Structure 1
Amino acid sequence: METTVIDNQELINQHYNIAANLILNQRKSGYETKNILIEQGLDPDVAAMIVEKIEMKINEAQQEAIHAQAKKDMLYGALWCIGGTILTLAHIGFIFWGAIVFGGIQFFRGLINLSS
């Protein structure tokens, strides 16, 4: 009985690996991946569940990457904007509009991406 559970888990892991390879490396769609899994003898409901879970994990990873980049944009934008403002107010003979505007744009772009 215990070996059957282990064998089933290994089989499920193999199908997950096949599906992940098809979606990530071979750029197959979820529909194509599901059909390939069904052709390999997997139940249609199980194949759909595997593809759905993989696509959900991919979407979560993409959202995390977008949020991390948005936070970096906000940080660097604020640094550029504040640095440009400080240097302009220091009366060293230059006005750092470029740094101020660039920093402001980058900061608000990050803020928009973080909130979406």
Structure 2
Amino acid sequence: MEVTEQHSVEQVYEYAAKLMAQGKTDEVIQAELIDQGLDSESATIVTQNLRDQFQHLHREEAKKNMLHGGLWLLGGCAVTGITFALASAGGGGYIMTWGAIIFGGFQLLKGIYQYYRLS
């Protein structure tokens, strides 16, 4: 493949990715690519490849949100539970980590929603 051909292919993918990032459907993207001079089969291949990449990236982001949210939730519950147990055993106060628990729970649910929305 020549350098100019590769550059053209990259331009097609960049244009299609821009449309996909704007929320355009695969059919609209394919129609736009065909209008730009690409044949129907190539337009389908480009959109399928990009859709796979977009889904992979969004799933990775969702997994990261689930992991971080779960860790914040677990950490908040652990600090609350440990300080409550210590306060119960020896008297005194304990730390209720509402912020970590709420933030972690929200981020965990957000990640779960993101992950299953793509299925």
Q: TM tier, shorter chain?
A: 0.7 to 0.9
2:9 partner amino acid: I
Q: TM-score, normalised by structure 1?
A: 0.75
Flag structure 2 segments of 5+ consecutive residues without an equivalent.
none
Q: Counterpart in 2 of 1:17?
A: 14
| Aligned positions, number | 110
After the TM superposition, which segments of 4 or more aligned residues of structure 1 sit over 3 Å from their partners? 93-99, 101-113
Task: Give the TM-score normalised by the residue count of structure 2.
Answer: 0.74
Work out whether residues 72 and 110 of structure 1, in 8 Å CA contact, stay in contact via their aligned partners in 2. no
How many percent identity over aligned positions? Answer: 21
Q: Judge conservation of contact 2:76–2:98 (CA < 8 Å) in 1.
A: no
Give the equivalent residue in structure 2 for 1:71: 67
Point out where structure 1 has 5 or more consecutive residues left out of the alignment.
none
Contact 2:65 2:107 in 1 (8 A): no
Q: Which of 1 and 2 has higher RCO (CA within 8 Å, sep 6+)? A: 2
Compared CA separation, residues 98 and 41, structure 1 to 2 (3 A): closer
- Name 1:61's counterpart in structure 2: 57
Letter in 1 for 2:28: E
AA paired with 1:18? Y
Task: Tell me, in whole angstroms, the C-alpha distance in 1 between the residues paired with 2:49 and 2:27.
Answer: 13
Do residues 28 (structure 1) and 38 (structure 2) align?
no
What is the alpha-carbon root mean square deviation over aligned residues?
Answer: 3.2
